[in-house]
Chain A
Amino acid sequence: MEPINVVTSIMTPLDRKNVDTDQIISKEFLKRIERTGFGKYLFYHWRFDREGKANTDFVLNDSRFEGSQILVADENFGCGSSREHAPWAILDYGFRVVIAPGFADIFHNNCFKNGILPIRLAQSEIDSLLADGQKTPVKLTVDLEQQTVTREDTGANLRFEIDPYSRQMLLNGWDEISLTFQYEEQIAAYEERMAR
């Protein structure tokens, strides 16, 4: 996967709580057997009406946020189905960072496997980002090494927490399976112990 460290971009404010993975990528698009090409289906039924026309009041159709690499949403983002097609669609669309007060566990895990950085910020910070970001586009700089999110408009420098393992994986873009192969001896020993 592609390493990630510093991302500077206008943020896309998605002012919704409990965004489930069925909304991120709807089931009719899960039949592909590839990992790529899901971006055009991201939030499909919010982006387009039943005739396939763009819903102009949906934030992804707002030209002010075009080319954005940072998605900001409200609490419990990515709940529901385990479908990794959700982060695949988010990445393929062009987002590298998702910021929310909280994430559902499986989605959160899936992000790290695909070079997407999920950042938890306090609810008050998210409220302010969502409110301000909808009025005027807000540019953010995310720095994974420093674990900070900087707002260009206010200059606010917000620290975020991330476990050291996930941070390393993202910064280096490591293949986790290759890393686990270094533990072959321990895995084999475990299997032998359990077989007894």
Chain B
Amino acid sequence: MVKTIIEKVWDRHVVTEEEGKPDLLYIDLHLLHEVTSPQAFEGLRLAGRKVRRPERCYATMDHNVPTRNIKTVSDPTALKQMTTLEKNCKEFGIELAHMTHPDQGIVHIIGPELGLTQPGRTIVCGDSHTSTHGAFGAIAFGIGTSEVEHVLSTQTLWQNRPKTMEVKIFGELGTGVTAKDVILAVIAKFGIDVGTGHIIEFTGEAIRNLSMEERMTICNMSIEAGAKAGMISPDETTVEYLRGRRHVPEGEAFEVAAAEWLALATDEGAVYDTTLTLDAADIEPFVTWGTNPAMGTGISGHVPYASDYASSSDKEALKKAITYMGLEEGMRLSDIPIQHVFIGSCTNARLSDLRAAAAIVEGQHVHPSVTAIVVPGSRSVKRLAEQEGLDEVFKVAGFEWRESGCSMCLAMNDDVVPAGERCASTSNRNFEGRQGTGARTHLVSPAMAAAAAIAGRFTDIRKVPVLQD
């Protein structure tokens, strides 16, 4: 029987299925961080339970870590979360990349880097952007802290079988159009809850042509379309990315594994519950103008008019969003001035993202009214970028070059956008207050963020000479 990759990976992990119950799903890899795990470990202790498979867990510190000086955490409650994670990992025998460890980084960046993320695996973490790992053909999804505790003690989860959805991007992406623009366009077109109850597989020529890092950007934001997970069938690009990574098999065993991974790809003729399509040629560099990721449009566009919407609740939502954002109906996106630029997050802080931003920045200078920071996604990304001299490109241009972590994506540490100010951000959520109380977030690609840093407003990277005027 022909199957999608979603069904193949799901079926392989079902421990039991019974009438009237969800499937009991086996979890291959459990990633942990300091914010959503303390209550789970405490639950284990209170009930006298153990971690069933500590070798299937891997922990790091990312959400709270400072990015200026990693030796001092000024916030005592944040510090307590980190020391608590350290204590918990020690007590329960879980490997931890602590704050100053060479492997530290955003959990969704280091999983793939270390080769922990592999095709065909089930991967969970107490973080919604766990969907990132689906780029490898894994079923990867975010869970709450009670489920973290459940996985720690049983290595399983009760899960209802999700429906399957194909999002097909056909054709070729234009110059300057990136993976970030593709996923923002998908969310804007189909809505922030289109994927509810589904796992999305991204297919089509435009997806096949993406690198692994770009594919991670796409799957990372499938949660922003409401999906349980996003996936991409493995191919040679996947295999070559994984070859030689620390936790993948070596030599002959790697070739055996690679053959198994490739066999996971969706079979010809397999049927999805829903298929949606988008023409790559219709996608422009994107900018969000509102307070959820679906509220965005191409850089040549403008903030919508209330009259563009039929329902009164949509008109009301527009009004609320643009009031919060300090924008007006019909305003051109390229006329919006910005004060902050954040290049970072699990969506866009990999080496290729930093290279794309640096290419725009090189030989230019950050606009005098803009504060711009680059926060590499992991210590490894930071080292590699420094070897290439990207840190110098950014610093000479007036960017701050920071230590790795989640940083200004959710502003749990000191990296906060002040109230009323506007940030061009390569992160994933533009919700009210996400980057600081009253802060205004516009989601863009790394190249668009870099161009905005130079111009002091949003600008079309397809016309970069505009930066010289």
A→B interface (CB under 8 Å): 17-18, 20, 22-23, 26-28, 30-35, 45, 50, 74-76, 79-84, 87, 102-106, 109-110, 113-114, 163-165, 176-177, 180-181, 183, 186-187, 190-191, 194
Q: Is the CB of B146 within 8 A of A23?
A: no
**Chain B contact residue count (CB 8 A cutoff):** 62
Q: Could you say which residues of chain B place their CB within 8 Å of the CB of A183?
A: 15-16, 24, 154, 156
Q: In the complex, what residue of chain B is closest to A176 when comparing beta carbons?
A: B150
A74 vs B311: C-alpha distance in the bound complex, in angstroms?
Answer: 14
A22 vs B38: C-alpha distance in the bound complex, in angstroms?
Answer: 19
Among the listed B15, B78, B80, B158, which residue makes an inter-chain contact with A165, where contact means beta carbons less than 8 Å apart?
Answer: B158
Known A-B contacts: A27-B410, A82-B36. Give 18 more (CB < 8 A).
A17-B317, A22-B429, A22-B431, A23-B433, A30-B412, A31-B64, A33-B42, A75-B193, A84-B126, A106-B141, A106-B142, A165-B22, A180-B156, A180-B158, A187-B24, A187-B26, A191-B26, A191-B155
A23 vs B430: C-alpha distance in the bound complex, in angstroms?
Answer: 12
Q: Is the CB of A190 within 8 A of B292?
A: no
A27 vs B429: C-alpha distance in the bound complex, in angstroms?
Answer: 13
Top 5 A-B pairs ranked by shortest CB distance? A113-B146, A84-B144, A110-B144, A33-B38, A82-B142
A194 vs B81: C-alpha distance in the bound complex, in angstroms?
Answer: 35
Q: Is B251's CB within 8 Å of the partner chain A?
A: no
Which B residues from 382 to 416 make CB contacts under 8 A with A? 410-412
A30 vs B192: C-alpha distance in the bound complex, in angstroms?
Answer: 24
Q: In the complex, what residue of chain B is closest to A112 when comparing beta carbons?
A: B146
| Best-buried of A74, A75, A176 by chain B (most CB within 10 Å) | A176
Q: Is the CB of B24 within 8 A of A83?
A: no
A82 vs B124: C-alpha distance in the bound complex, in angstroms?
Answer: 11
Q: In the complex, what residue of chain A is closest to B148 when comparing beta carbons?
A: A84
Q: Is the CB of A76 within 8 A of B81?
A: no
Q: Is the CB of A181 within 8 A of B154?
A: yes
Q: Is B20's CB within 8 Å of the partner chain A?
A: yes
Q: Is the CB of A23 within 8 A of B226?
A: no
Q: In the complex, what residue of chain A is closest to B77 when comparing beta carbons?
A: A31
Q: Could you say which residues of chain B place their CB within 8 Å of the CB of A76?
A: 192-193, 196, 226
Distance of B253 from chain A, by nearest CB (Å): 15
Q: In the complex, what residue of chain B is closest to A111 when comparing beta carbons?
A: B144
Q: Is the CB of A113 within 8 A of B433?
A: no
Q: Are A45 and B437 CB-contacts (below 8 A) given A33-B84, A187-B15, A187-B155?
A: yes
Q: Is the CB of B35 within 8 A of A30?
A: yes
Among the listed B78, B192, B197, B433, which residue makes an inter-chain contact with A22, where contact means beta carbons less than 8 Å apart?
Answer: B433
Q: Is B434's CB within 8 Å of the partner chain A?
A: yes
